[in-house]
Structure 1
Amino acid sequence: MYNEIFGVLTFLVTFILLVAMYRFFGKHGLITWVAIGTIIANIQVIKTVDLFTISATLGNVMFASIYLATDILNDIYGRKIAKRAVWLGFSSTLVMIIVMQMSLHFIPSSVDSSQDALVTIFNVVPRIALGSIIAYIIGQHLDVMIFNLIKKVFSSDKTFIVRAYGSTIISNIIDTALFVSIAFLGTMPNSAVFEIFITTYLLKLISTIFNVPFGYWAKSMYRKGKIKNLDEGY
């Protein structure tokens, strides 16, 4: 049960940190969270762990926090700001891949002890890197679009949960399906690919279900004026 308990702790810490970034840096904190979150999530996804007797990759909680960050930006500051954050997250991931691939091609010193570790972490299989980038950009833009469509029907502050759940649950299906298909289809049995899709989506779904209260917490701070004044200082 260690991984399961530590997983809950990681979930709470991740979303508390997200809200803290918003509290102290306003919308700029959320935009930054999307940028650094995509980099962290794409590194975490390399590690596989056992949760509730099934194998799963890390990164699902961080990806869920990115979706919540864009939902908060979309709800409070509008679609344009949310899309800017999405593109910043995409660009950050692309920059990381390019720069780290170039770094790996330096011939290490005879006293270097990190090259093998860096290769293991950052020498990302091209299909996985491509799948991650394509899934991210399509999934996030779909999330922003669906969020706005739902907002036209359920626009009150109390129905933020409907907008957040509806947009993220639907967009995560596309996001996960694209990533798993591009990264793994043809390299392993279809049944194994389907199992990866199901477990990955379920973990994202669970994270989504329990993260919306943190969205309400962030929105509550905005309504009380704890965020607006900070934003005006930029």
Structure 2
Amino acid sequence: MSSLQGNVSPTQPSARPQAKSAPRFAAVGSPFFGILLACMAVIVILSNIGAAKGVQFGPIVTDGGFFLFPFAYILGDVISEIYGFKVARRAILATFALSVFASLTYWVIIALPGFTDDYGRAKQAALEGALGPVPQIVLASMLAFLAGQTINSFIIVRLKARQGERKLWMRLMGSSGVGEFVDTLIFCTIAAPVIGITGFGMFANYVLVGFAYKTAVQYVLVPVTTLVIGWFKRHEPSYAA
């Protein structure tokens, strides 16, 4: 009996820690990335046009692009989670370049000689009023989007390297808060004079409302964003789930 006990040794847990697996990302060979990039670029460009108009709901001050812009960050979250930081950075730079192209296009349209009758002059004035401020707003948006979205993507990918496929909600919420604050502060600082926002109180209102609204939209839509990311992970051929 003692010999049997001597031959049987209890299973000992390995003292060597298991190697951490690298985070999974997809390649960009499928059509999905192109669709996401196109949607993000269109949303940013339309938001820039809408931002030329100041909007006021009672004491709340914002701009005409407020309802659309948060979705650019949601798409940025999807791209970062599925394709990684390098691809997300390319998407940000592509959106940046397309915004510049759109702004140059507005400038050419305004500069072209129009009809000289009353209707032609009225349309020219309307174009100048609507699209004239856009280059400065585009500058504000590009710098803000470049900084905020890069930080947003970096946080998502770094957290994913630690968490793997777990705690997606934490990555989405943590990155959104930091990225949106940087984006809002830069954008509002540059764009406020063009929109017509003057005085520190009005400016502070603009910054705080913009940050609170955009962050709240992203937080409320975290369950939807999680479902969308899950769908892409299941259907993106190169994502090794």
**Match for residue 165 of structure 1?**
173
**Match for residue 6 of structure 1?**
none
Per-residue CA deviations over 1:149-204 (Å, capped at 9, x if unaligned) read 222232224x211111111110111111111222337x722222111111111111
2:71 is the alignment partner of 1:71: no
Cα drift, residue 69 of structure 1: 0.8
From the superposition, tell whether residues 87 and 41 of structure 1 become closer, same or farther in structure 2 (CA, over 3 Å).
Answer: same
- Listed as ranges, the gaps of 5+ residues in structure 2 are 1-29
**Match for residue 153 of structure 1?**
162
Q: State the alpha-carbon separation in 2 of the partners of residues 102 and 118 from structure 1.
A: 11
**Match for residue 45 of structure 1?**
51
**C-alpha RMSD of the superposition:** 2.6
From the superposition, tell whether residues 51 and 154 of structure 1 become closer, same or farther in structure 2 (CA, over 3 Å).
Answer: farther
Equivalent residues of 1:38, 1:92 under 8 A apart:
no
Cα drift, residue 52 of structure 1: 6.9
Cα drift, residue 93 of structure 1: 0.9
Equivalent residues of 1:154, 1:162 under 8 A apart:
no
**Match for residue 231 of structure 2?**
221
**Match for residue 127 of structure 2?**
118
- What code does the residue aligned with 1:152 have? A
Q: State the alpha-carbon separation in 1 of the partners of residues 234 and 141 from structure 2.
A: 37
By percentage of residues, which structure has more helix? Answer: 1
From the superposition, tell whether residues 33 and 126 of structure 1 become closer, same or farther in structure 2 (CA, over 3 Å).
Answer: closer
**Match for residue 63 of structure 2?**
57
**Match for residue 203 of structure 1?**
213
Q: State the alpha-carbon separation in 1 of the partners of residues 191 and 59 from structure 2.
A: 23
Cα drift, residue 108 of structure 1: 0.4
Identity %: 22
Equivalent residues of 2:47, 2:68 under 8 A apart:
yes
Equivalent residues of 1:184, 1:193 under 8 A apart:
yes
Q: TM-score, normalised by structure 1?
A: 0.78
**Match for residue 177 of structure 1?**
185
- Listed as ranges, the gaps of 5+ residues in structure 1 are 1-23
SS in structure 2 opposite 1:136?
helix
**Match for residue 113 of structure 2?**
107
Equivalent residues of 2:36, 2:75 under 8 A apart:
yes
Q: TM-score, normalised by structure 2?
A: 0.76
Q: 2:199 aligns with which of 189, 194, 201?
A: 189
Cα drift, residue 31 of structure 1: 0.7
Q: State the alpha-carbon separation in 1 of the partners of residues 231 and 58 from structure 2.
A: 35
